[in-house]
Structures are given as structure tokens and as C-alpha cells.
Amino acid sequence: MLPPFRKSSAAPTWISATLWEKLEAAGTDAFLAAHSPRLRLERWGSTLRACALRPALPDGNEALLEPPATLGWQAERMIWQTEGERTARHLRGEGWTTEVQEGNLRFGIDLTPGTAPGLFPDQRENRNFLRSRRPTSLLNLFAHTCAFGVLAAAEGATSLNIDNSARALARGRENYRRNHLLGTQPRFWKEDVRQALPRLQRRGETFSAIILDPPTFAHGGRGRSFRIERELAPMIAACLRLLAPGGSLLVSVNEARARRGELERTARFALSAEKIRARLEPSRRPIEVPETRMPAGIWILRED
């Protein structure tokens, strides 16, 4: 038998069987299954991935990766990843890729170490909220693998996805294909968002929904590096100019220092400068994700 966790703080708390069933009933099999301060267990379809903070936990901790019997679920594949390390190991099964489901949509997932999985489950309730806003046209900035775009297209909206990573957009296109949505003629622009925004304004395009979900820092490639504290306020103002009356704008920032209060102040300042009336609502949080693990976010909902 494997020894138990040596540090009790490392033992993860699993979500309840009731919540597990509720998520599955909603058609979702990608979610945070358990966590402790040093360990996160993510369910990706039939795979369980353990992500441990450094320093690496001692070997032999695999025992507590077994889901409680009350969940009635066993992972076909288990992967152990220590954050920041280039390698990961399989504790069960093999391979790195899979497909997951969120509601009526499917997304490709790649758990190769050093690769982004391809879906942010912590944005699930924001995707659901976007659906409830019945968008007709979506501008998906920092689109990554286009999860928001796929959702909007499935709801009948046009979608423009902008990201400076060709690989992320190729995975995004594949997600549209997987959901039979290429016929909605989604647009994919491989471009720096900072250059695309003024161009969209010159072209007179407007959108009923905009997602602004930037990284906190990114190397600029051939352009300037991206720093959230410098870029956010002008980007919110630029998005407001592209937002149609009655439209919805999500601003989400994965930065501990930029808490919601600060985001709200920045948003209110931009709204007043652009003379736009809107109400602000907190971004939505999936019930299984603790507040401390969430990005800071607000919805700006135009009221004119």
C-alpha cells in the first residue's frame, strides 16, 4: 500500500458527490476536482491530472489521488505534474491528448508538459453568462483556443477571434471543426490585439459582445512586450468604442494585484470618458473554484 501524504496540508479536498453529479448532469467533464494549498487535481474527461506546487511533493503521494468511492468514478489516465517542470509522469494510462465536454460543446485538450491544456474551466460560468446574453456578434480578444468564440458561434453569432499565436488559433479552428461550426464562417486573426483594435474602429465594426482576457505579461515577439498595468485602461476604452448599444464586455485579469475594485475604477473612468451608460457586474465563478484561484473580472453591460 502507498504511504499517505506526509504533509497534511498537501491532502486535497474533493468536491462533493452532489456537485460532481450536478456538473456531469450539465454535460461538463472538465473541472477542478480537488485542491489543497499545494495540489490541484483537475478532471479532463477520463483523465485526472495532479498539479503540485514546487518543491515537489515526495514520491508515494499517489494514494490520495484516488477519488472517494462516493463519486463512483475512476480515472482511466492519471498524470502527475509539478508546476514549472518540463516533464510529467503517467501514474496510469498513456498519451497526453483528449477531448472534453462542456455543456453541448467539445474541446480538444493537450496535457503535454509546457503546453496550455486548451480550455480554462474557471471561465465556464462566464461562457454560460455570455450565452444568456444572446450575442449576435462576438469579438474574442486574446482568443487562445477560441472557447468563447465556439460558444458564441453555437448560439448563432458571428465570431472574430484574435490572438498572436498561430498555434493557439489552429487549435481554436479545430475546436470549431469538432463542433461542426466552421460553417458559421468564424474569423481568425493572428495579430497583436493592440494593433487590431484601432483597425477595427477605423473599419467601423461593432460587436454585441467582447471578451477581453489578456495575459499579465507576454513577450512582444517583434513588437513591444505586453504589460497589463500599462495596457489595460487604453484597451478597455478601445473595446467600449467597439461595443454596440446593449452589448456586453467581459474584462478578466489573472493578476493578484489587480483586484476587482481596481478593475471597476478603471472601467468607470473609461465609461465616463466615452460617455457610455453601463452597469457593472462581477464576473461569474464556477462553484467548485475557490475565489482565491479566480482571475479578477467584471462584466460591463451597456444600458443604452
Residues in contact with ligand SAM by the rule CB under 6 A: 120, 123, 142, 144-145, 147-148, 163-165, 168, 192-194, 211, 213, 215, 218, 226
Cα–Cα distance, 46 to 84 (Å, whole number)? 24
Q: Are the beta carbons of 105 and 154 closer than 8 angstroms?
A: yes
As measured in angstroms, the least distance from the Cβ of 96 to ligand SAM is 19
The 3-state DSSP class for residue 11 equals: coil
67 or 117: whose CB is closer to ligand SAM?
117
Q: Are the beta carbons of 20 and 73 closer than 8 angstroms?
A: yes
38 or 194: whose CB is closer to ligand SAM?
194
201 or 272: whose CB is closer to ligand SAM?
201
Angle at 116 between CA 189 and CA 24, to 5 degrees: 105
Cα–Cα distance, 149 to 267 (Å, whole number)? 23
13 or 195: whose CB is closer to ligand SAM?
195
89 or 167: whose CB is closer to ligand SAM?
167
Cα–Cα distance, 253 to 223 (Å, whole number)? 21
How many CB atoms within 10 Å of residue 101?
A: 15
17 or 233: whose CB is closer to ligand SAM?
233
Cα–Cα distance, 304 to 300 (Å, whole number)? 12
As measured in angstroms, the least distance from the Cβ of 210 to ligand SAM is 11
As measured in angstroms, the least distance from the Cβ of 98 to ligand SAM is 17
Cα–Cα distance, 167 to 14 (Å, whole number)? 34
As measured in angstroms, the least distance from the Cβ of 164 to ligand SAM is 4
Cα–Cα distance, 173 to 101 (Å, whole number)? 17
As measured in angstroms, the least distance from the Cβ of 68 to ligand SAM is 30
